[in-house]
Amino acid sequence: MTQPQKQKKHWTVPYFGWSKRTRKNFLTGMLFISPWLIGFLAFSLYPMAASFVYSFTEYHAKRPLEWVGLQNYIELLHDDMFWTSLGNTLYMVLIAVPLELIVSFICAILLNLKVAGQSIYRVIYFLPSIVPVVAGTILWLWLLNPQVGLINTLLGSIGIDGPNWLADPRWSKPALLLLGLWGVGGTIMIYLSGLQDVPLTLLEAAELDGASWWQRVWHITVPMVSPITLFTLITGVIAMFQYFAQAYVFRGGGELGDPLRSTMFYSVYLFQKGFLFLKIGSASAMAWILFFIILGCTALLLKISGRYTYYAE
């Protein structure tokens, strides 16, 4: 008695490999993303890999690379300017970022009020954030000029002797804080969009229960916009660790503009190492140290955010 023949299985896609249609769709997709892919490989991935290799070498433009191992990293740990620049940068991260978040949130609450001409006020608050960084910094150099600057002139009109913002190490970083607060319009708009998504029913219910304005803000508004706070905090920390353009223009691009190194920030020192002193290996090592510092801070913020961040279901 013959056994029945087993039915053959029909596969839509061959067991090994892709079908003709899948290959065609893949090639079409790769064709469309090829400009981005080429740019990523040429201008992001390759420079990152090259800088990682350079960080373990002594780079010479006309000679082969000289392998030095961890020497660049060890020298940085014994470099006083390295620690000074890192300390100045940490000052901005710990002071400027929270201060800008608080000011942005307060301004967003004010701009969320129902008053006449509110759209005009929103435009006024947002305009400084679209001013080019260099142009805005030069404007503030004039405003903070100790002799003819507008700020010291206004302080003098009420009997206050204004400080030397540009040369006094006690006031140079606060001057940069003022410059940063002037350009928080983008963060204000992000907060404003989040405030408009806060359910009015929760605020009205809290008001009926006798909650004050401050209690409604602290217990309802702040938790509801906490994901926005986390996003702006992480992006602000990343940006502040790479703080460069404002400080470089503010200090005149060189050591003479800052004799006491109060505005020698990490990225400024990295730039000087790489492009003024031509120590490419040491500059690459600084870049990778900064990368791991930012990575660690970001991971820490994400780790502790779970207990303070509320996500509506």
What would the pLDDT profile of 148-186 be if each residue is shown by its tens digit? Answer: 889 999 998 888 888 888 888 888 899 999 999 999 999
Same domain, 173 and 45: no
* Within-domain flag for 65: no
* Within-domain flag for 7: no
pLDDT at position 310, please? 79
pLDDT, tens digit, 9 for 90 and up, residues 250-299:
876 544 445 568 889 999 999 999 888 889 999 999 999 999 999 999 99
Q: Indicate if the pLDDT at residue 13 is higher than 50.
A: no
pLDDT at position 11, please? 47
* Within-domain flag for 9: no
Same domain, 151 and 272: yes
Sequence-distant (6+) residues with CB within 8 A of 220 are 198, 202, 203, 206
* Within-domain flag for 8: no
Same domain, 37 and 97: no
Same domain, 142 and 257: yes
Same domain, 172 and 262: yes
pLDDT at position 14, please? 47
Sequence-distant (6+) residues with CB within 8 A of 221 are 109, 195, 198, 203
268 in Cβ contact with 242 (< 8 Å): no
204: region left, alpha or beta (phi > 0 left; psi from -120 to 50 alpha):
alpha
Which neighbouring-strand residues pair with 233?
A: none
Same domain, 164 and 296: yes
Quick count: other Cβ atoms within 10 Å of Cβ 77?
10
Same domain, 170 and 291: yes
Q: Is 264 helix (H, G, I), strand (E, B) or coil?
A: coil
* Within-domain flag for 195: yes
pLDDT at position 7, please? 52
282 closest CA partner among 267, 270, 295 = 270
227 in Cβ contact with 311 (< 8 Å): yes
Same domain, 232 and 162: yes
Residue 67, φ and ψ in degrees, nearest 5: -70, 125
Q: Indicate if the pLDDT at residue 311 is higher than 90.
A: no
- If you average pLDDT over every residue of the chain, what do you get? 87
* Within-domain flag for 2: no
User: How many domains is the chain built from?
Assistant: 2
Q: How far is CA 277 from the centre of its chain?
A: 27
- Cα distance between residue 204 and residue 26, in whole Å: 53
Same domain, 118 and 252: yes
Same domain, 79 and 199: yes
Same domain, 139 and 83: yes
* Within-domain flag for 282: yes
- The CATH number of the domain where 176 resides is what? 1.10.3720.10
- The residue range of the domain holding 33 is 20-54
Where residue 85 falls among pLDDT bands split at 50, 70, 90?
A: very high
pLDDT at position 263, please? 87
More confident residue, 7 or 222: 222
Same domain, 203 and 278: yes
* Within-domain flag for 184: yes
